[in-house]
Amino acid sequence: MKKSILIIISLVAVFFFASTNQVMAQWSVDVNYTDNNCSCTNITSKTIEWEIRYVSNNSLYISGSKPFISNSSPYTLSENDEIVEDTQFYICVRINYFEAAVVEPCCTGYGCTTTDSDKLTNGYSSVTIIMN
């Protein structure tokens, strides 16, 4: 009897893990931003940070940052990662502007949205950020 229960539990576990379909894909988010409210006088660097979480349990899927090289909105943020198909995600993006020798940003903005794996990999996700 114990052996039968153990086999059933093993089969359920295998089915559960096999049913999660992950594929390597490029994901992208259009970041619509306005920096009209910024009062920086000597911007020396800009960064963009992102965090993508699963809606189902709010656990972190992926996060990152990189230099932000853009002078026009929208900016398309894209990376290559394994994507879990048929999944809902929260996407949050922050943009920071820095002046020379200053640790804190002179201007920053943050925005979030909800999307699904299909929209994320087909370029139909967007976030709006108003910086100040």
* Number of domain units in the chain: 1
Q: What is the pLDDT of residue 24?
A: 80
Q: What is the CATH number of the domain that holds 39?
A: 2.60.40.2990
pLDDT digits (tens, 9 = 90+) for 9-33: 443 333 344 446 787 888 999 999 9
Q: Which residues of the chain have pLDDT under 70?
A: 1-20
In a domain, 110, yes or no: yes
- Name 99's Cβ contacts closer than 8 Å, sequence gap at least 6: 40, 41, 42, 43, 44, 106
Domain holding 50, by residue range, is 21-130
| Residue at 14 is within a domain | no
Tell whether 68 is covered by a domain: yes
